[in-house]
Amino acid sequence: MSGSGEPSDEDLAAAWGAAVEGEGGEGDDAAAPSVEPARVLNQAEIDSLLGFDDSPSGGDQNSGIQKIISSGLVSYERLPMLEIVFDRLVRIMSTSLRNFTSDNVEVSIDNILSLRFGDYLNSIPLPAMLAVFKAEEWDNYGLMVIDSAMIYSIVDVLLGGRRGTAAMRIEGRPYTTIERTLVERMIHVVLQDLSASFDPICPVTFRFERLEVNPRFATISRLSNAAVLARLRIDMEDRGGQMGLLLPYATLEPVRELLLQQFMGEKFGRDSIWETHLAEELWNTELELSVVLDEQVMRLSDIMALQPGSRIALSVGPGAQVQVRCATIPLFEARIGRRKNRVAVRIENELARGPIFER
């Protein structure tokens, strides 16, 4: 201790050292504060935290960080008829591009997947050309992406480049007017083929809008919206490249019911056998018809005064016109008469029926 009565640094260090040494002793357990060692997670606990627990009780439910990661993925319904449309597009494009380039062209589909529009926009390998086109009948837009290999291959083929030479790639410079013009001609050919591919399902016209080289200028949808992407590979002997067709789900919404079909002409919710059976049963349904002989307006006091034996005089006589009703719906006009000692009616006119009968 110093003369001022305050503990020095050496005294404090000695006191802390004594406390640490006495922590392990038996007599000082109650006095010394207990410090628990840091707990280390085992592998099972780490897997459970990350959501990779493969135990049967977990089922298909994701948990932990895995659920957070999976929330960014897109899992939308498949459109079977759209896959058939793209298959048809491949066949049509193979013929039209052969005529366009006067070369042997093979078109194939790499894959068809659903993803968010913003994720695809950020993953486009640059440099590339992005063609924005509009579906006239659907009043919405789509996107066509042509990579640099395809651009230089088209320019090389259309300008008479020799076969067997690798396509020249020039990076770091903007595309020239000639390159943009030649690629735009190919885009018009592809859009015509895409329109022809949709014709069996729904006639639609895809019109070329503009050509961009910056993905941010080709934003046609919200970045978080879902879209269908079809990657096409085009091979022209030793040359070729890739092309991407992106159609947002909002663009396909007008024909969504048609694209959900498993085969052409499918009608959901209809069964011809059941419809025929129902129609036959309806024709055999029994209905109760009522002939209204007379209608009168009476006071409530007169109605309450009626008793067994009371008489109500009807204003209808033989040959008078009456109505034939089914429940509250008037169907026919008829005349009252007698046939073989029975009161009978003869239908003369059919009354106009309500909207329920016109469906």
Angle between helices 177-198 and 148-158 (to 10 degrees): 100
- CA pair distance 302, 218, nearest whole angstrom: 82
Query: 336 with 318: CB under 8 angstroms?
Result: yes
C-alpha to C-alpha distances, 279 to 59, 288, 292, 358, 359, nearest whole angstrom: 47, 19, 30, 16, 14
Query: Which amino acid appears at position 203 of this protein?
Result: P
Tokens of 33: 């504060």
What b-and-e string marks burial along 181-212, b requiring 16 or more CB atoms within 10 Å of the CB? ebbeebbebbbebbbebbeebeebebeeeebb
- CA pair distance 142, 248, nearest whole angstrom: 7
- In the chain, the N- to C-terminal Cα span, in Å, equals 106
**What's residue 5's pLDDT?**
55
**What's residue 256's pLDDT?**
85
Strand, coil or helix: 351: coil
Using 50 as the pLDDT threshold, list the residues of the chain that sit under it: 1-2, 26-31, 56-60, 266, 358-359
C-alpha to C-alpha distances, 345 to 26, 287, 340, nearest whole angstrom: 115, 17, 12
**What's residue 58's pLDDT?**
45
Domain spans, the chain? 1-27, 36-71, 80-259, 286-357
Its pTM stands at 0.55
Tokens of 88: 């048809």
Look up the CATH architecture of domain 80-259: 3-Layer(aba) Sandwich (3.40)
Angle between helices 148-158 and 80-101 (to 10 degrees): 30
**What's residue 89's pLDDT?**
92
**What's residue 73's pLDDT?**
52
**What's residue 231's pLDDT?**
92
**What's residue 359's pLDDT?**
43
Domain 286-357 classification at class level: mainly beta
Strand residue runs (E) in the chain: 106-116, 128-135, 140-147, 206-212, 226-236, 239-248, 290-292, 321-326, 329-339, 342-350
Tokens of 266: 């499918």
Any bridge partners for residue 144, and if so which?
131, 245
**What's residue 134's pLDDT?**
93
